[in-house]
Chains A and B, each alone.
Chain A
């Protein structure tokens, strides 16, 4: 199974941090973004680690991605779709798919025996493209 990244949310780790701060701050979004830019990636990493540790995975849902996937049968994809309701997949014929997921679903796929092969192919591609190194380090290593 091989995944090729088509698109992902810009600045994914900062996006997750924005969602986290939104819950606990009365500031406007612009003020939160300025605060997060000023504090930098170490702070985003701290927030990411906290949400993973506290199992507050909802904030990960704002990091989204679309990939082309080959090497997955209809049966395999059907099993995934039955179990993970937020995976979006469009068949492109043969064993090719356009797949969209958010980072929470990716973590849940990773932690599930049946979902792990799909998650691994996505994580390998994200790693190769350097999309979200902090998230990768905390969630998948």
Chain B
């Protein structure tokens, strides 16, 4: 998985503009005004299905209607990768699924229909724009120990990048 921050709100510009008006804002109110845009690549659709349940965010994801889905590869969970018999079953299953997908496309079935057979482990790419309040909620929920391993990894990466971009906000509010 690869996560990249494309831009974030210039927090200093906002604080500076408010201070010029003699307003010293409660840092928590700034959570609504600070926005981050991320690129997320090579995580599974299992994880993006969980991610988009966080609705106060904007998502644009690679479409399987138009792209060649079979070029994207899949995510293999560590529990499967570490178990020889499970890994064999996983890989055999995937081979069958991809072969059926290719056969359907070759037979003239549109990609938007052939994709119904594709696994949710398939890798995907998306951009996500989210404000700090909503991101704080995602990080709080999805870095919890009971969260699923892949979205925990994603939430950890989002947290790290947001904190690096706007340390004042994350240190003063989120980690308090």
Residues of A within 8 A of B (CB): 4, 6-7, 9-10, 15, 18-20, 22-26, 28-29, 58-59, 61-62, 64, 66, 68, 88, 90, 92-93, 96, 98, 100, 102
Contact = CB atoms under 8 A, between A and B. Distances in A.
B21 interface: yes
Interface of B: 4, 6-7, 9-10, 13-14, 17-18, 21, 23, 25, 29, 32-33, 35, 37, 39, 41, 58, 60-63, 66-68, 71-72, 125-127, 129, 131
A88 B18 contact: no
B7 A15 contact: yes
18 contacts: A7-B9, A7-B10, A9-B35, A10-B7, A19-B60, A22-B39, A22-B127, A24-B62, A24-B67, A29-B125, A58-B58, A61-B58, A62-B37, A92-B21, A96-B21, A100-B32, A100-B35, A102-B58
Contacts of B10: 7
Helix, strand, loop or mixed for chain B's interface? Answer: mixed
Nearest to B20: A68
Given A15-B6, A29-B4, A62-B60, 20 more contacts: A7-B9, A9-B7, A9-B35, A10-B7, A18-B6, A19-B60, A22-B39, A22-B126, A23-B60, A23-B66, A24-B66, A26-B72, A26-B125, A28-B125, A29-B39, A62-B58, A68-B17, A88-B131, A93-B23, A98-B18
A96 B66 CA distance: 47
B28 to A, nearest CB: 10
